[in-house]
Chains A and B, each alone.
Chain A
Amino acid sequence: MPKPHLALLAALLLAFGISHFSGLIDPYYLDVLTGIGINVILAVSLNLVNGYTGQFSLGHAGFMSVGAYLAAAVSVFLGPTLLGPGGGTAFQQNALFLGALLTGGLSAAVAGLLVGVPSLRLKGDYLALVTLGFGEIIRVIFQNVEKLGGALGLNGIPAYTSIFWVLVFVALSVFVVTCLVHSTYGRGFLATHDDEIAAEAVGLNTTRYKIVAFVIGAFFAGIAGGLYGHFKMTITPSGFDFTKSIEIVVMVILGGMGNTLGVILAAILLTLLPEVLRSVAEYRMILYSFLLIVLMLARPQGLFNFKRRKAKP
């Protein structure tokens, strides 16, 4: 069995193990761990887009919101009918939750396709703006759907998210991204990132690579959204505005674009940082933004990127 597959198996077993003993873990730490896991999924999936194919997307929170809303809609509106009056067994609930998550992920993937096809011919700043624009439009649309709670948000989402599911999808997202990047197919991602014109000259369809990356990235953002909704039990459109997208971008950049391990570490660090700074509550966000500037000035290649894969021209 190839190494990544073994690693995935090990990770899934670990997820099962941890969730088995989750009763022994302090609920506060469990919450922090869940938050970290969701952010890792978001950062790793955005890294596929930003880091590996070099397309700068600022709309990740938009895809997250699609996943969050659609998944929540499944469990809020379809759940009671499917589970019956008793609320169903734990197994039935988990099956429903998996269905809800996949619905959310696939919807986000479709949204990714719809956004990606027209906009991926743009580059750099411009692509960043278009994705930001799409993200904001998605948010405004949710604000206007009364059935989903409008601007006030959707409440009463069942708390299905458990540390097990979070860890499972963390493992899956890392696995998928790693396998994609290391496959022959995935070499195309890197080639697209390094030199798009040269990649095209040797016959790679760079647009297709970009779209595939974008759709897979959106899928996992949707999954993360679903997990987030069923974790917080309430979601509002304003929770998925572009500052959320920026938060995810910051994780990718700090981690060192295109470096999965670095990005995971950055996601963990940036989720923990506000928690650690809780003692200086009113100054913590000031400190956070200040550290962000200092880090960018001191380590422009990313915090955890110790080897530069290539020199920028």
Chain B
Amino acid sequence: MSEFLQQLLNGLSLGAIYALIALGYTMVYGVLRFINFAHSDVFMVGAIIGYYTGHHLPPGTVGSGLVVLAAAMAGCALLGIVIERFAYRPLRNAPTLNVLITAIGVSLLLEYTFQNQHVFGAAPQLFPPVFPVKNFQLGGLSISSNQLIVIGVAALLMVALEFIVHRTKIGTAMRAVSLNPKAAQLVGVNIDVVISFTFGLGSALAGAGGILYALNYPSVEPLMGVVPGLKAFIAAILGGIGNIPGAALGGLILGTVETFVSGSQWSTYKDAIAFAILIVILLFRPAGILGKFTVEKV
């Protein structure tokens, strides 16, 4: 039983990180109907920003941890906005495929740039322990402070996101744009502003995800975003792409399933599990768990 709870806890803290990244995919898909392939690299950049700022701060204090988190979120928000402005906006009315390829180009550009030895280098670097580290024993359960931080920060950010999306003007505008961009323009919404905001918000969450992932891992390298990014993306599909609570739910489910599989005898197949879930979902319920399936208009 405690073994089960332990795995569940580990799964939830992994899932919380997937959820944070998945939210960015889903929000961008909501307003632009395209898959932002570079999102996983924004996550990586978040971790690397954390790596650099963390080295200039006293280790093991809550203050440093929060500063690192804030720096990564701000840096990633800016990066996301810049990427959208220069790489995606010129292609706003181009076929999806072209935007997808451009996104792949941006992804490769970020990866190769950071792999350059004058920038960061290809070798993994140890992530500084910015937050205090402690282990708690609860019954048979071993809980690390990092796990609590991951779950706590992720939960807080999701509540904040829920607030922004449902209780603020720009959040309502985001939902309006995703439902009907033309009608949104006709009530005076500047679509460009809303899209920039969406990219900023999603990228900030990915930045936070990058820090939380690096804390637990604990190393950073330029390709670290690829696999978690794909998984998070699958989580977004699982929950129903474009659906914000769905992305959070999908992340948690995927993280938990994956942790249980890696604790079992099929552990070497844990990466395939995510894709198998993806395929089953797309074939049998393409709209995801919480999504509504809309027939493509002719």
A contacts, CB < 8 Å to B:
56, 118-119, 122-126, 128-130, 132-134, 136-137, 140-141, 143-144, 197, 242, 246, 249-250, 253, 257, 282-283, 285-286, 288-290, 292-293, 296-297, 300, 312
For residue B298, which residues in chain A have a CB less than 8 angstroms away from its CB? 197
Q: A292-B108, A293-B87, A300-B94 are in contact. Are A126 and B286 (CB under 8 A)?
A: yes
Q: Nearest Cβ in chain B — how far from A73, in angstroms?
A: 20
Judging by beta carbons under 8 Å apart, are B237 and A129 in contact?
yes
B91 touches A297 (CB 8 A): yes
- Point out the residues of chain B lying under 8 angstroms from A144, CB to CB: 268-269
- Answer whether A133 and B278 are a contact pair too, CB < 8 Å, given A249-B101, A285-B108: yes
State whether B108 touches A136 (Cβ < 8 A): no
Count, chain B residues at interface, CB 8 A = 42
The answer to the question of B188 belonging to the interface, with a C-beta cut-off of 8 Å to chain A, is: no
A297 to chain B, nearest CB (A): 5
In the complex, what distance in Å separates the CA atom of A47 from the CA atom of B40? 27
In whole Å, how far is B139's beta carbon from the nearest beta carbon of chain A?
A: 35
Which applies to chain A's interface (DSSP): helix, strand, loop or mixed? helix
User: Are A140 and B116 in contact (CB-based, < 8 A)?
Assistant: no
Kindly identify, within residues 86 to 125 of chain B, every residue whose CB is under 8 Å from any CB belonging to chain A: 87, 90-91, 94-98, 100-102, 104-109, 111-113, 115-118
Our pick among B98, B106, B109 for the contact of A286 (Cβ within 8 Å) is: B109
Cα-based distance from A260 to B266 in the complex (angstroms): 43
Alpha-carbon distance A22/B35, docked complex (angstroms): 45
**Which B188-239 residues sit within 8 Å CB-CB of chain A?**
230, 234, 237
Which residue on chain B has the smallest CB distance to residue A285? B112
Across-interface contacts of B111 in A (CB, < 8 A): 289
Query: Chain B 250-291, CB within 8 Å of chain A: the 1/0 string?
Result: 000000000000000000110110011011001100100000
> A293 contacts B105, CB within 8 Å?
yes
CA distance A253 to B34 in the complex (A): 17
B286 with A122: CB separation less than 8 A: yes
Closest to A283 in B: B116
Q: Does B296 contact A (CB under 8 A)?
A: yes
Q: By the criterion CB–CB under 8 Å, are B98 and A253 in contact?
A: yes
B98 x A296 contact (CB < 8 A): yes
**Is B95 in contact with A286, judged by CB distance below 8 angstroms?**
no
Known: A130-B279, A257-B97, A296-B98. 11 other contacts (CB 8 A): A125-B35, A126-B286, A133-B275, A133-B279, A137-B275, A140-B268, A253-B97, A286-B112, A292-B108, A293-B106, A312-B95
Interface positions of B from 7 to 50, Cβ below 8 Å from A: 34-35
Are A119's CB and B105's CB within 8 A? no
Q: Which residue of A lies closest to B296 (CB)?
A: A123
B66 to chain A, nearest CB (A): 33
Interface centre among B98, B104, B113, B276 (most CB of A within 10 A): B104
- Chain B contacts for A132, CB-based, 8 A: 275
Among candidates A137, A288, A292, residue contacting B272 with C-beta atoms closer than 8 Å: A137
Q: Is A288 in contact with B108, judged by CB distance below 8 angstroms?
A: yes
Q: Are A130 and B282 in contact, CB atoms less than 8 angstroms apart? A: yes
- Whether B282 and A126, one on each chain, are in contact in the complex, defined by CB atoms closer than 8 angstroms, is yes
Decide if B112 touches A289 in the complex (CB within 8 Å): yes
